[in-house]
Structure 1
Amino acid sequence: MAWWGWLLDLSGVVLLLLLAYGAALILRRRVIARHGGTFELSHRLRDDVPGRGWVLGLGRYSGERLEWFRIFTLWPRPNAAWNRDELSYDGRREPLGAEQMSLYPDHVVIRCTSSTGLVELAMSESSLTGFQAWLEARPPGTDWNQ
């Protein structure tokens, strides 16, 4: 077989793999969203360089936890999770500089504190309203003075 035949076969295999990966991402997102309560949520993993370290993802409310899934991975489990009683909202701001290119359009950056430290998330205005309502809807008997 000529070299161009091998190249054509290799191109076909790569194309099929890319199509399979895309289909698997769509299926994964549907499975995650099946239980409802999902929204576009970006998480800042590193804050050593200003405006950098953001990773796009999906958020899902699962009982007393907010789960975060990376958008471009096939891993079925959440990459991070925060319990409602360990998370407190500290404010919001508009994306600055390079953050505007790293995040979804019209998202705002929020700062939260958790038992592990500072957590920065980015979400839409309507998702922020839902997030604040979820935080405030703690079960009866919760100590609100924490």
Structure 2
Amino acid sequence: MPVWQWLLDAAGVLLVLAVLYGLGLIVRRRLLSRHGGTFELSYRVRHAHVGRGWLLGLGRYSGESLEWFRYFSLWPRPKRVLQRSEVTYTGRREPEGPEQISLYPEHVVISCRTPSGPVELAMSPASLMGFQSWLESGPPGTDWTRGPR
């Protein structure tokens, strides 16, 4: 078989794999959002360089936790899970420098405190309102006068 046929076959296989990957992302997104409560949520994984280390993703409320899924992954489980009782909202700011390119347009960056350290998330102002409401609506019997554990 000539070399050009091998190259054509290889290009065809790569095209089929790219289409399957795209379809897999679409199906996964549909499965994650079928019960509602999903929104665009970026998560900052590295804080070493100013404005860098952001990963785009989806957030989903699941009872007492907020699950974060990487956007371009086929893995069905959340990459990070934040428990409502362990998260304290500390503030918000506008994206600065390279963050403006890395994040979705019009998203704001929020800072939270968790037992494992500070966490930065980026979401739309409407999603931020929902996030704050979710944090404040703890289960009955929650003592709001007590500080975080």
TM-score normalised over the length of structure 2: 0.97
CA distance in 2, matches of 1:115, 1:137: 20
After superposition, give the CA deviation of every residue in 1:60-104 in whole Å (9 maximum; x if it has no partner).
000000000000000100000011010011010000000001000
Report how many residues are paired: 146
2:108 is aligned with 1:108: yes
2:83 is aligned with 1:83: yes
CA distance in 1, matches of 2:35, 2:113: 27
Calculate the aligned-residue CA RMSD, in Å.
0.5
TM-score normalised over the length of structure 1: 0.99
CA distance in 1, matches of 2:42, 2:133: 19
Gaps of 5+ in 1: none
Identity %: 64
Question: Displaced runs of 4+ in structure 1, greater than 2 A?
Answer: none
CA distance in 2, matches of 1:115, 1:84: 12
Aligned residue in 2 for 1:118: 118
Aligned residue in 2 for 1:136: 136
Aligned residue in 1 for 2:45: 45
Gaps of 5+ in 2: none
CA distance in 2, matches of 1:3, 1:40: 45
